[in-house]
Amino acid sequence: MDIALFLDFDGTLVDIAPRPEAVRVEPGLIETLVTLRERLGGALALVSGRPVSQLDGFLTPARLDAAGLHGVERRVDGIVSGGRPEDHPALRAQVARLHEEASALPLVLIEDKGASVAVHWRLASAADTERAEALVKQAAAALGADYRLQLGKAVGEIVPAQATKGVAIRAFMGQAPYAGRRAVFLGDDKTDEIAFASVAEDGGVAIRVGDGDTVASRRLPDPAAVRTLLTAWASGEPIELDSLPAA
């Protein structure tokens, strides 16, 4: 089957960690991704909320095609476009304000991604969680229609309004080696649901990782199951999407 494979990173390829920098890449995963990309004729890309440079750091020495910051930046065949912090002065002002106001919340993390910002409260108390969510909502409201707030698993992220994983996948599908294939996207969070819907609308297959309501048609229980599946595909086993568990 000629598919174009798109993979979220956190919660899909790797298990969620208390802090973004603490995720662990399982032994063999990088080799699996490189081998599977070769089997797919290059039609494999990461689609993540992280910057492309962070993905590279976790997956070195591989340099896969990738959409970072929910599609704000994109790399195809080694060429990166988008994602310059200097193009977002209003956002930069809000990032500074978030750092200042969150300084009294020691277990709340402000993750500055340059062209987007994420506020994490996974480790915070209930009171600090409520305050952190209020802070990111206030920042998003102050930025207006040019940006949007995405709420995920113990995180709120502000990204440019035009950037979605669905738009990024469609951009990949418009060029070689992705064009003419069937898109398959694996993701795990609320922020992936927009892309699930657009992939399905375009005739592709969306696969939700983990529990929760979803518009995806298929589901895998956890990142370990994803890694097992990708390893099987990389080893040459048939890519039979209809055999995957229904969502």
Residues serving a catalytic function are: 8
Phi and psi torsions of 222, nearest 5°? -165, 170
Phi first, then psi: what are they for 6, rounded to 5°?
A: -120, 130
> How far apart are alpha carbons 80 and 94 in whole angstroms?
26
Question: Which of 52, 82, 238, 76 lies closest to 169 in space, CA to CA?
Answer: 76
C-alpha gyration radius of the chain? 18
Residue 237 tokens, joined: 């086993």
- Alpha helix ranges (H) inside 40-125: 52-59, 89-101
CA angle 142, 55, 97 (to 5 degrees): 20
Q: Give me the sheet containing 205-209, strands edge to edge.
A: 79-81, 73-76, 65-68, 44-47, 3-7, 182-187, 205-209, 218-220
- Spatial separation of the C-alpha atoms in residues 202 and 82, rounded to whole Å: 25
